[in-house]
Amino acid sequence: MSAPNLLTYDPETLAPEAVAFLPRLSDADAAVRRIALIELADLEDPDALQPIVAALIHDDSATVRSEAARVLGAWEDPQIVEALCHALIDVDGQVREAAATSLSELKDPSSGAVLCAWVDRPEPFVKAAVLRALRELRVANAFAPALQALADDDPSVRIEAVGVLGWLKDARALAPLADLATSDSSAEIRRAAIGALGYAQGDDRAIPLALLQALRDPVWQVREEAATTLGKLRVASARDALIAALDDDYWQVRLRAARALGQLGDRAAAPPLVALLAHAISNLRKEAALALGELRDPSTAAALREASGDSDPEVRKAARIALQQLEPVTP
């Protein structure tokens, strides 16, 4: 790192209020420099940002550089985004983390051009941070590098790539995401890929097949996400598999399966859902009642009336809602 007082800007271009901070920004004490950065940022003057950028790049103190990365997160400008990207390869981990956090808060899609120039860096941390920053910007140019990153050796990169593709909702990503949902070695990534499929659009047959396979995943969180996504997509062919999932070892999976069956609206699921009204876990009883309301099967009215007297107020409320949904079809 260079000396903390190395200037990469013309002080004469600064407003008088900002110039007043320059002696403190050159102070030998890093604590003084750090406080000066905070106060300079509080001016909220775009023309006063260059000394902060200079501190991020050149200050000898990691604490000061980290603070500079943090305060710069409040601004979106190509020069600032570039400086924050450069800070991702800082020698200090605290600085890298602060820069990654600031980049993740970007909202202007125009920042995507700078980010895309960094997404092919060899460092996994940089790739992951840049992909995370690109995610909510929905920049079309991020599609190709994100798709390529699905095959990255580092799981932190792969999971961020899944996030980018999920937000972009590009049908070209469906098949690769479906493959990842069943084949990735990381359960966290399999789960993320399944969730991304739920927000994608398209009718690729690989999606329901992958989700049905994921419903048998050895990790219950993956099965839970698969049940959720099958319900979102209303995959009619998943009915029997979801009914079977009502007997999963984990109640969280059972709950999502019950909800999904309600979303499918297939009355063949009514008997197992009625049976779930007697489960010891009240959350499951509640979800079963709500799902039965979605099915609107008159044959479930008696069971729902009984559930309306459940010991749990949330179950009683759900049963009453379901009975109201049955009214148009109940004689």
What SS3 state is found at 281? coil
- Within 10 angstroms of residue 161's Cβ, the number of other Cβ atoms is 34
Q: Please state the pTM of the whole predicted model.
A: 0.87
Residue 234 lies in a domain: no
Return d(Cα 173, Cα 165) in angstroms, integer.
Answer: 7
b/e map of 53-66 (b: 16 or more CB within 10 Å)? bbbbbbbebbebbb
**Domain assignment of residue 225, yes or no:** no
What is the SS3 assignment for 267? helix
Q: Is residue 25 part of a domain?
A: yes
Last residue of a domain, one of 103, 128, 163: 103
| Inter-residue contact 270 to 299 (CB < 8 Å) | yes
Q: What is the pLDDT of residue 19?
A: 66
Degrees (nearest 5) of the Cα angle 244, 246, 248?
Answer: 85
Looking up residue 291, the CATH number of its domain turns out to be 1.25.10.10
How many other β-carbons are positioned within 10 Å of the β-carbon of residue 114?
21
Average pLDDT for the chain: 92
Nearest CA to 202 out of 242, 235, 164 is that of 235
Print burial letters for 126-147: b (CB count within 10 Å at least 16), e (below 16).
bbbbbbbbbbebebeebbebbb
Give how many domains the chain has, as a whole number. 2
Tell me how far apart the alpha carbons of residues 121 and 127 are, in angstroms, rounded to a whole number. Answer: 6
Q: Establish if 73 belongs to a structural domain.
A: yes
Q: Quick one: pLDDT at residue 45?
A: 77
Residue 268 CB contacts under 8 Å (≥ 6 apart), including other chains? 239, 243
Query: Model confidence over 188-240: pLDDT tens digits?
Result: 999 999 999 997 665 677 899 999 999 999 999 999 999 999 999 999 999 99
Signed CA dihedral, 135, 140, 141, 144: sign only: positive
Low-confidence ranges of the chain (pLDDT < 50): 1-7
Please report whether residue 204 resides in a domain: no
CA-wise closest residue to 215 among 176, 177, 256, 186: 256
Q: Indicate the residue among 103, 133, 148 that finishes a domain.
A: 103
Q: What is the pLDDT of residue 37?
A: 87
Q: Which of 103, 121, 136 is the last residue in one of the domains?
A: 103
Residue 323 and residue 46: Cα distance in Å, rounded?
A: 59
Domain boundaries, position 321: 248-331
In a domain, 39, yes or no: yes
Placement of tokens 């109640």 in the chain: 251
Output the DSSP codes for 220-284. Answer: HHHHHHHHHHHHHHT-GGGHHHHHHHTT-SSHHHHHHHHHHHHHHT-GGGHHHHHHHTT-SSHHH
| N residues, the chain | 331
The reply to whether 171 falls in a domain is no
> Is 127 domain-assigned?
no
Tokens of 184: 């990735």
